[in-house]
Amino acid sequence: MKAHRPQRVGEQIKRELAELFRQLKSELGGYLLTVTEVRCSRDLRSAEVWVSVFSDQENRLAAIKRLSEKSGRIRHLLSNMIYLRRVPELIFRLDQTLDTAEKIDTLLKESGIQENDEF
């Protein structure tokens, strides 16, 4: 198996999940979900799906829990959208990259460092 195949499959799953989340918005609790990354295992049996949720922390965790509960249905619908012998098991993870960036920005502002300052 080629080394870049898991990456290609991950990108395809990412595109299809984004569309699927739009279609299932009410079924998934009405949360604004964005698929930020999909990492497939080398054997394509599992895929970690990193999702960003636009809401407060409590609702973010609830959204990831809801996705995990619906992962079987999502996987089934995904199997109708992509052609793979076996659709990977989906493991949903909360992407907190934006939260981390916001914390760093706040700390920099509090320390008095400006964006254009040189070190």
The model carries a pTM of 0.79
Q: How many helices (H) and strands (E) does the chain have?
A: 4, 3
Tell me the per-residue pLDDT of 16-40, one tens digit each, with 9 for 90 and over.
999 999 998 888 888 889 999 999 9
Torsion sign, CA atoms 12, 18, 19, 25: positive
pLDDT band, residue 97 (cuts 50/70/90) = confident
Sheet of strand 89-94, all strands in order from the earlier edge strand to the far edge: 33-40, 46-53, 89-94
pLDDT on residue 119 = 52
> What average pLDDT does the structure give for the chain?
87
Domains of the chain from N-terminus onward: 5-111 (3.30.300.20)
In the predicted model, what is the mean pLDDT of residues 34-51?
94
In the predicted model, what is the mean pLDDT of residues 91-95?
93
Quote the distance between the C-alpha of residue 96 and its chain's center: 10
Report the distance separating Cα 46 and Cα 55, nearest Å.
27
Token code pair at residue 91? 């493991």
Yes or no: say if 57 and 68 are a contact pair by the CB < 8 Å rule. no
pLDDT exceeds cutoff 60 at 117: no
| Maximum mean pLDDT: which of 28-32, 56-60, 62-66, 100-104 | 62-66
